[in-house]
Each structure stands twice: as C-alpha cells, then as structure tokens.
C-alpha cells in the first residue's frame, strides 16, 4: 500500500553530510518510497552560501532562511546537519512547534541539551532521532535503545573518534610522535585545521554522554563526562604499551557501578591488550563494545565519520521517522526513568600503568611500594631499570579507585627519591 502524497523533508545544512543526504534522497527515491510506504520529497534546503553550485539540487529549493523553512507548517521531517549549538537548537525547537519530526547528527547539541529537545519532541508528539550523532554509520543508538531494551547494559567501551584513532594507530605502527602523526592526519583530511575538538576529547565526550544516557536510562550531559585528550601520549608511551602486550586507544567508557546505584562516563587514552578486539581497530574506523547481563559482549564496528556513512545513518532515521508519521505514532523517546547519579571520576575503578623517574639507590622500591600500600593501591607488577645513578620504575597496579591513585601519585611526587612522574596511563579492556 503506497500513499501517493509525498512526505516533505527540510534539509538544514548542505555540506559533506547534507549533500550526500540530498543525493541519496534523489538517486534512491523509489527505494525510499517503497520502504517508507510513501514518497519523500526534498521541500527545502537551508544553506549559508546560496551562490555555491550544488549538483543535483534544484536551486529553487535553496534558501538562507532556515527559520522560515522549519516554520512553513507543511514540513513533515526536518533533517539537521548544521552542527553546533546555535542556530541548530532554535531551529529544532521551532521544527517541533510547527509539527515536524527531527533527524539530527548533532552530537554537541544532544550532549548539552538532549533532555530539553526530547521534552519538546514529546510535548508536540514528534520524533527526535539521531543515530548519526554517535559513531557515524554504525548502528548503535538503535541497538542500544531498541534491541537491548529487554536487557541490562553494564558497560559501553569504544573508539568513537576516527581522527584520534587514525593518529594513535599511526603512532603505534610507525613509532611516530604525536605531532608528526597529527600532521599526516591533517594532510590526509582526517584531522581538521583546528583539531581541538577531536584531540582534546570533546567530540568523544559528547558521544559518551549520549551513549551513557541511552545505555543506562539516565540523563547524562557533556559536563558529566570526565575528559582527557590524547595530545600528551608519546612514542615512549607506545613503547611501554608494547612491553605490556598492549596498544593505546582513546576510549569512551560508560559504566554502571558494581552495586548498580550509579554510573560513570569518561574519555581518556588507555592501554588495552592487543588481544582485545578494539586493539585491532585501524585507521579512522570506530568500534564500540557493549556488555550486558543477558547478551554478554557485543561489538559494533564501522566507519565513524564521512559524508556517505553519516548520510546512511541519517537516512535510516529518516525512513523510521517517516514510517512513524504514516502510522500516527512515535518511536521511543528519551528514557531517563532510572535517574542514576553520575559519579565523579574519583570513584572510577580501573588499573594503572605508572612510569617514575627515581634515584638509582637501595630502598627506593621499598619507599615507593609503601606509598602505594598506604593509599590502598595494590601493585600487580614492578619493573626497575637503572643507569648512571638514574633509574626508572614502571608500576602496574591492580584495580583501584581513581581517587586512591591520585592520592598515591601526589604522595609519590613528594618523595625525595622520586625525580618525576613520567606518565600515568589507565589500563582497560581486561
């Protein structure tokens, strides 16, 4: 049964992703109509530079007035691929007020104002879908909020930023330093001119907030996510990792506490064993591990960015939202009923790899070990290397809270025999 009157789509933004969305809507129009049960029509495209030639898009559809477009009243679905907080937030809110459902790829906005946007969608009985906001083409939001809806997710652990994975992979495989690897990523178009959002972990942290919210049925915002970038990871860190049979990845980690009463969300570089499936995720690919009570360990892998992959996720949402509209229904909205508190980083429990520069004389190891013991941090292995009166101590701990580890490190720095703390890195994925 096919409805002949088309559903009208307004596209906000026509860059790398938006132009792919428009292209696929045109070239695959028949398939989309069959899968939705009605044709979809591109009713308007809001851009900043209307003079730019956009192949395959009727110039009559192009406008610079995004606000007027979303307020037209005849728009069924607004696709927002502008990014950033404003004007995206106002446009999405206006879209709901004027009867449209929304498909967005905007991780920053969802991580900051997801609750308010979901509330606006619900108030107006409309859908807000955003599969493309996390891990590009990889189906992750839908599996978490629908496939695992009858399960209890305990942990989400993933590589959700392709730029930093490209850089770290390059450092791992060539021994290059951070700057050299970043330069190559920039030259190849994997890193932006200003790479801050990627390398400082802001992008991954936004995704972690979204994932924690959905996985734990709890509100989590960007501010709730502990964040450490990967600009201080060195070639020496990779050598240390190799000695441990590990590599280094920038991980987003969302965990339910052991007693189930709270959750944590964090982004930081970490060592993971080479035997862990995430260790072999190469280049700009993304992959996310999900651990749940009944399903066990699942992994989702694919391209985490790029115009076409992101457009694939946007269009999957578009089909779902259009189908919901024809059904007079809505899909799952925000689910925050569990309302678990998000604990601070100090309560996170994990393992640590610590490199210390110490004086090469008897009794240093005993002193250092005492400090660990006093802070309740149990040592797994220690390796000593000495030369010319200087020595290094590499300590790998058992599981301990981040607060205990911080206390330990602070005390270590005060020891006369400790010249410096060369590096501290968390060890995950065991």
Active-site residues: which are they? 207
Of 86, 63, 89, the closest CA to residue 10 belongs to 63
C-alpha atoms less than 13 angstroms from C-alpha of 265 in its C-beta half-sphere: 27
322 is in an annotated binding site: no
Shortest Cβ 162–its own copies spacing (Å): 12
Shortest Cβ 100–its own copies spacing (Å): 18
Distance CA 274, CA 277 (A): 8
No. of helices (H) and no. of strands (E), the chain? 14, 17
Supply the DSSP string of 69-100, one letter for each residue.
HHTSS--SEEEE---SSTTHHHHHHHHHHTT-
Check if the beta carbon of residue 107 is closer than 8 Å to that of residue 136: no
192 is in an annotated binding site: yes
Helix residue ranges per DSSP H, 217-288:
235-243
Of 114, 197, 117, 118, the closest CA to residue 160 belongs to 197
Of 424, 383, 58, 64, the closest CA to residue 269 belongs to 424
Q: Which stretch binds its own copies (CB under 8 A): 286-294, 365-373, 385-393, 418-426?
A: 286-294
19 is in an annotated binding site: yes
Shortest Cβ 325–its own copies spacing (Å): 11
Q: Which stretch binds its own copies (CB under 8 A): 70-78, 110-118, 234-242, 287-295?
A: 287-295
- Count of residues touching its own copies (by CB under 8 A): 58
What tokens appear for 194 in the block?
């200003």
> Which one of residues 13, 18, 114, 143 is an interface residue with its own copies (CB under 8 A)?
143
114 is in an annotated binding site: no
Is 139 an interacting residue with respect to its own copies (CB under 8 A)?
yes
Of 229, 209, 251, the closest CA to residue 109 belongs to 209
In the complex with its own copies, which residue's Cβ is closer, 231 or 330?
A: 330
**Which residue is it, tokens 């495989």?**
173
12 is in an annotated binding site: yes
Check if the beta carbon of residue 419 is closer than 8 Å to that of residue 357: yes
Is 32 an interacting residue with respect to its own copies (CB under 8 A)?
yes
Is 394 an interacting residue with respect to its own copies (CB under 8 A)?
no
Q: What are the angstrom distances between the C-alpha of 193 and each of 147, 264, 285? A: 38, 32, 20
Cross-strand bridge partners of residue 246:
273
> Which one of residues 335, 343, 367, 401 is an interface residue with its own copies (CB under 8 A)?
335
390 is in an annotated binding site: no
Contact code string over 210-229 relative to its own copies, x by CB under 8 A: -------x------------
> Which one of residues 68, 85, 116, 149 is an interface residue with its own copies (CB under 8 A)?
149
14 is in an annotated binding site: yes
> Which one of residues 5, 60, 258, 337 is an interface residue with its own copies (CB under 8 A)?
337
Is 134 an interacting residue with respect to its own copies (CB under 8 A)?
no
Angle between helix 235-243 and 162-174 (nearest 10): 70
What tokens appear for 169 in the block?
């992979």
Is 309 an interacting residue with respect to its own copies (CB under 8 A)?
yes
Q: Which stretch binds its own copies (CB under 8 A): 92-100, 133-141, 197-205, 219-227?
A: 133-141
In the complex with its own copies, which residue's Cβ is closer, 114 or 143?
A: 143
Q: Which stretch binds its own copies (CB under 8 A): 5-13, 43-51, 178-186, 289-297?
A: 289-297
Report, in angstroms and rounded to the nearest whole number, the Rg of the chain calculated over CA atoms: 24
> Which one of residues 121, 159, 313, 348 is an interface residue with its own copies (CB under 8 A)?
313
Check if the beta carbon of residue 361 is closer than 8 Å to that of residue 388: no
Return the DSSP state at 101: E
Helix residue ranges per DSSP H, 140-279:
141-142, 162-174, 178-187, 196-199, 202-216, 235-243
Is 318 an interacting residue with respect to its own copies (CB under 8 A)?
yes
Shortest Cβ 379–its own copies spacing (Å): 31
Is 298 an interacting residue with respect to its own copies (CB under 8 A)?
yes
Residues 387, 390, 393: CA angle, nearest 5 degrees: 95
Q: What is the largest CA-CA distance in the chain?
A: 85
319 is in an annotated binding site: no
Is 193 an interacting residue with respect to its own copies (CB under 8 A)?
no
Is 131 an interacting residue with respect to its own copies (CB under 8 A)?
yes
Is 189 an interacting residue with respect to its own copies (CB under 8 A)?
no
In the complex with its own copies, which residue's Cβ is closer, 165 or 292?
A: 292
Is 363 an interacting residue with respect to its own copies (CB under 8 A)?
no
| Interacting residue ranges for its own copies, rule: CB under 8 A | 20, 24, 28, 31-32, 34-35, 131, 137-139, 142-143, 146-152, 217, 277, 280, 292-303, 306, 308-309, 311-320, 323-324, 327-330, 332, 335, 337-338
| Numbered residues of the known binding site | 12-19, 107, 192
Q: Which residues are annotated as a binding site for NADP(+)?
A: 12-19
């Amino acid at each position: 049964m096919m409805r002949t009157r088309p559903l009208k789509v307004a596209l906000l933004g026509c860059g790398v992703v938006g132009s792919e969305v428009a292209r696929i809507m045109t070239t695959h129009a028949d398939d989309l109509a069959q899968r939705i049960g009605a044709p979809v029509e591109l009713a308007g495209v809001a851009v900043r530079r209307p003079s730019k030639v956009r192949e395959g898009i009727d110039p009559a559809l192009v406008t610079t007035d995004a606000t007027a477009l979303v307020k037209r009243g005849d728009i069924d679905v607004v696709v927002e691929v502008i990014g950033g907080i404003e004007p995206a937030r106002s446009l999405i809110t206006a879209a709901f007020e004027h009867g449209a459902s929304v498909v967005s790829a905007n991780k920053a906005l969802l991580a900051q104002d997801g609750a308010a946007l979901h509330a606006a969608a619900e108030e107006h009985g409309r859908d807000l879908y955003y599969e493309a906001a996390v891990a590009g083409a990889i189906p992750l939001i839908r599996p978490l909020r629908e496939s695992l809806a009858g399960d209890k997710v305990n942990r989400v652990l993933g590589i959700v930023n392709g730029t930093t994975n490209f850089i770290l992979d390059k450092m791992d495989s060539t021994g290059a330093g951070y700057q050299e690897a970043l330069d190559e990523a920039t030259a190849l178009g994997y890193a932006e001119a200003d790479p801050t959002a990627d390398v400082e972990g802001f992008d991954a942290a936004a995704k972690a907030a979204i994932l924690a919210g959905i996985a734990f049925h709890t509100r989590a915002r960007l501010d709730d996510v502990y964040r450490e970038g990967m600009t201080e990871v060195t070639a020496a860190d990779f050598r240390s990792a190799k000695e441990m049979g590990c590599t280094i990845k920038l991980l987003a980690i969302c965990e339910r506490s052991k007693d189930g009463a709270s959750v944590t969300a964090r982004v930081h570089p970490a060592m993971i064993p080479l035997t862990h499936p995430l260790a072999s995720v190469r280049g700009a690919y993304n992959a996310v591990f999900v651990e749940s009570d009944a399903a066990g360990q699942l992994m989702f892998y694919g391209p985490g960015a790029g115009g076409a992959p992101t457009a694939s996720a946007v269009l999957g949402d578009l089909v779902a939202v259009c189908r919901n509209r024809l059904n007079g229904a809505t899909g799952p909205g925000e689910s925050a009923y569990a309302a678990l508190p998000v604990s601070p980083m100090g309560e996170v429990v994990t393992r640590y790899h610590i490199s210390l520069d110490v004086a090469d004389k008897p009794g240093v190891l005993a002193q250092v070990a005492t400090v660990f013991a006093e802070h309740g941090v149990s040592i797994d292995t220690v390796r000593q290397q000495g030369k010319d009166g200087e020595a290094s101590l590499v300590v790998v701990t058992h599981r301990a809270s981040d607060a205990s580890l911080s206390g330990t490190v602070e005390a270590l720095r005060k020891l006369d025999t400790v010249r410096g703390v060369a590096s501290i890195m968390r060890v995950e994925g065991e």
